[in-house]
Structure 1
Amino acid sequence: MVTKDSNILEAARKYPVIGMIFRKYGLGCIGCMVASGETLGEGLAAHGLNADAIIAEINMLIEEQEKAAK
């Protein structure tokens, strides 16, 4: 699971679904150089998005993928 304090690149490497969610919202953060030093909360807020809602969506998909893998 991820939080607002999770580093964007580290989280995306661990949970590739994050890239899909970012693309859904038109974010290119995964390929951005700033992403290596920015948290999910900072990146989403910088784009004027509701970080709590998007992180909840990400965690829901991560949970679904983990259940499917069992």
Structure 2
Amino acid sequence: MAVKIEKDTIIGDVLDLAPETAPLFQAIGMHCLGCPASRGESVEEACMVHGVDPDAFLAQVNHFIEAVEANK
């Protein structure tokens, strides 16, 4: 099943569905992925806080997930 991450997807859900994406979140400055506050934010909220274009980040995350799934 293909996973599609959207702007309103909660980061905790992303990490539950695709834990291999954690380094992508860390690369934009989210170093506390285990904190309840960060896990409860949407991808768009996290991008806003960290000064990242959410559309570009989502493209990167979804491309990464597709590549991982293709190699399973």
- Please report the TM-score for the alignment, with normalisation by the length of structure 1: 0.84
Consecutive unaligned residues of structure 1, counting only runs of 5 or more, are none
- 1:34 alignment partner, one of 34, 37, 61: 37
How far 1:23 sits from its partner (Å)?
1.7
> Which aligned runs of 4 or more in structure 1 are off by greater than 3 angstroms?
none
Aligned positions, number: 69
- 1:20 alignment partner, one of 20, 23, 27: 23
CA distance in 1, matches of 2:43, 2:69: 21
Identity of matched residues, %: 30
Higher share in helix: 1
Consecutive unaligned residues of structure 2, counting only runs of 5 or more, are none
Indicate whether 1:10 and 2:13 are aligned: yes
CA distance in 2, matches of 1:63, 1:22: 17
Listed one character per residue, the Cα deviations across residues 14-56 of structure 1 (whole Å, up to 9, x for unaligned) are: 1112211012223225223212431111111111111111111
SS of corresponding position for 1:31? coil
- Cα RMSD of the aligned pairs, angstroms, is 1.4
